[in-house]
Amino acid sequence: MLPMKLPEPVVDNFRDQLTEPLAELLETWQLRDDKSGPGESSPPLLVETFPQLYDAMQRTEASLSRGAAATGGNPASAEGVTELGEYALELFDQSLHWANHLDLPEVFDTLQAFTIAMACWIGRHGGELINLEPVADALARAANRTQEAGELLTLYRAMGEVIEATASLIRQDLDKSNPGRPWRILHLNRAIVATRSHQPDIMDEAFAVLIEHLPEDAPGFFTQGMEQMDLLNYPPHVREVMDRYYRKWSVNRSLH
C-alpha cells in the first residue's frame, strides 16, 4: 500500500493532477454503463463541474492577492471562501463515492489527497470548514499509510491547518455523545502522528492542543500511549515525553 502524497494546495495542482484520475473515473463509468451508483450526481456531471471549481478558486486567489481594485469589484470574502469550500468538498465527496463504487483505488487515493489539499486551501484563504467528515476521513487514512518522517511532518502540519480552519460551532464540540465524531478523531490522529514523528517538540505541541480541546480524552490517550511505547519499542526520548504526560494526566498512575 503506497503512502498518500499530499499535494500543495494551489489551483494549478488541482487542475493538472486531477485531470487524469477524473478522466479514468468517467471512462470506467461509461464502459460499465453503471447507473446504480451513489449520490445524485453522475460522473459526467461531476467531471464537467471540476473545471468550474478551479476557475472559481483562481478568481478567489486573484481577488485576495490583488484586492478589489484589480478585480473590478469587492475582494472575496471569508463567507464566500467558506461557501465555495463547502461546495468543493461536496464535489470531492460525491466523486469519492463513485471511485469507491467503481473500484478505482488509485483514483480514490488521489481524490482523498486533494480533499485534504482543498481543506488547506479553504483555511489559507480565510474560509471555514463546515463539513469536517470527509476531510477527517482522508486524514485518518493518510495517517494509517504514512511512515516516513518528512511525510509525517507534512501530514501533521496539514492536520493543524484543518483544526485551525474548522468552523467555530464544530470547535465548541458541544455534543460529545459520538466517539467517532470527526473533531475528536482528527485530534487523536494528530497526536498519534506527532508521536510517530519521534520529535518531542511536535509531540508537546500536539498534546497541548489535544488537552485543550479534548481534556476528557487526554487520560485515556496517554495511558494507551504508554502501552504503545512498550509494544512498539519507541526510543527513550519519545518515551520520556509520553511518560511525562501520562504521569500528569492518567487516571491510573500506578500502572507504570
Q: What does the DSSP assignment read for 187-216?
A: HHHHHHHHHHTT-HHHHHHHHHHHHHH-TT
The yes-or-no verdict on residue 69 having pLDDT over 70 is no
**pTM over 0.85, yes/no:** yes
pLDDT given for residue 95 in this prediction: 96
192-232: pLDDT as tens digits: 999 999 999 999 999 999 999 999 999 999 999 999 998 98
With H, G, I as helix, E, B as strand and everything else as coil, classify residue 247. helix
CA neighbor of 104 nearest in space, from 165, 191, 43, 169: 43
**Residue 197 near residue 155, CB atoms below 8 Å:** no
What is the C-alpha separation between 203 and 199, in angstroms, rounded? 6
174-189: pLDDT as tens digits: 999 999 999 999 999 9
Cα 112 to the center of its chain, rounded Å: 8
119-168: pLDDT as tens digits: 999 999 999 999 999 999 999 999 999 999 899 999 999 999 999 999 99
